[in-house]
């Protein structure tokens, strides 16, 4: 029973970390666009940021569960 609880906790931690990283990256992009430093963002950069946030979220969730 406790194994399933740990599995659920790990999944929740990973999802929360992914969402948190995505929110921070989104806020940084909005600030940079608001300042006029970034006017146009290519699609491949958006995909790279999405994959980066997934990777950081997964690693962060696993690390915090230990």
Residue 38's pLDDT is: 85
**Looking at residue 9, what is its pLDDT?**
86
Is there a contact between 54 and 7 (Cβ–Cβ < 8 Å)? no
pLDDT in tens, 35-58: 988 888 888 988 999 999 999 999
| Alpha carbon of residue 62 to chain centroid | 13
Helices and strands counted in the chain (H then E): 2, 0
* DSSP track, 8-39: HHHHHHHHHHHHHHHHHHHHHHHHHHHHTS--
Neighbour-count burial of 31, counting CB atoms closer than 10 A to its CB (0-12 exposed, 13-18 middle, 19+ buried): exposed
pLDDT digits (tens, 9 = 90+) for 6-15: 778 888 889 9
């Amino acid at each position: 029973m406790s194994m399933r609880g740990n599995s659920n906790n790990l999944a929740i931690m990973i999802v929360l970390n992914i969402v948190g990283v995505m929110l921070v990256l989104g806020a940084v992009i909005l600030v940079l666009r608001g300042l006029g430093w970034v006017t146009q963002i290519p699609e491949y950069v958006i995909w790279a940021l999405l994959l980066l946030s997934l990777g950081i979220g997964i690693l962060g969730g696993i690390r915090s569960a230990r």
